[in-house]
Amino acid sequence: MDFKIDTMETVYIPAEDSFLLAENLAIKPGDSVLEIGTGTGIVAMYASKITDKITVTDINLDAVTLAEKNFKKNNIENIEILFGNLFEPVKNRKFDVILFNTPYLPTENGDVIDDNLNYAFDGGLNGRKVIDNFLNEVKNHLNEKGTVQIIQSSLSNNEETLKRLDELGFVSEIAASEHYFFEDITLINSYL
């Protein structure tokens, strides 16, 4: 890892999915970037090596606090941090690139934990609860010829995501994939 980061129990600790996104960023110098669900801020830190127009959001207040601490720890000052769910904090704004390591795990009531960490993985019964809400709004926040990069799992139906993106007018592909135990973690790149 190129950065020093602190972690905490209530914030998702960077794992394979985080690095699959961080190592395959489709960002150009000067792009405006929005990362939804920044967690520790690790993906945004990699993005900061490419562009200085970065906004991050998280629904987990612990994550917002931790990301700010990690940015300072690495002398990164060009990232705007906002608290809120999905696109709420950036209501009337548009970006060139939108990044999201989605909460993609299918969860039943017994799987839900009473803790802020739950936001990081709880995808609802079919793993698509947050993914579908994101897809419903993403085009409203993307500049013309923009790019969306989503991390999700084969457990949350990659084909459904590709179909929805196609219906929204995107050209999409599974740009990278890694197999772990019972699932494939995939990076979907979509272009307007």
The CATH code of the domain that includes 157 is 3.40.50.150
How many structural domains comprise the chain? 1
| Residue 121 confidence (pLDDT) | 67
Domain for residue 182, yes or no?
yes
Establish if 99 belongs to a structural domain. yes
Greater model confidence, 112 or 45? 45
* DSSP state at residue 117: T
Measured between alpha carbons, how far is 53 from 164 in angstroms, rounded to an integer? 28
The residue range of the domain holding 93 is 16-191
Q: pLDDT class for 124, splitting at 50, 70, 90?
A: confident
Instruction: Classify residue 11: in a domain, yes or no.
Output: no
Q: How confident is the model at residue 1 (pLDDT cuts 50, 70, 90)?
A: low
Compare 121 and 56 and report the one with higher pLDDT. 56
Model confidence band, residue 92 (pLDDT cutoffs 50, 70, 90)? very high
Question: Per DSSP, what are the bridge partners of residue 53?
Answer: 32
In a domain, 178, yes or no: yes
For residue 91, tell me if it sits in a domain: yes
CA dihedral 5, 9, 15, 21 (to 10 degrees): -70
> pTM of this prediction?
0.94
Burial 91-102 (b: 16+ CB within 10 A, else e): eeeebbbbbbbb
- pLDDT score of 110: 75
**Phi, psi dihedral angles at 101 (to 5 degrees):** -90, 95
* Residue 10 covered by a domain: no
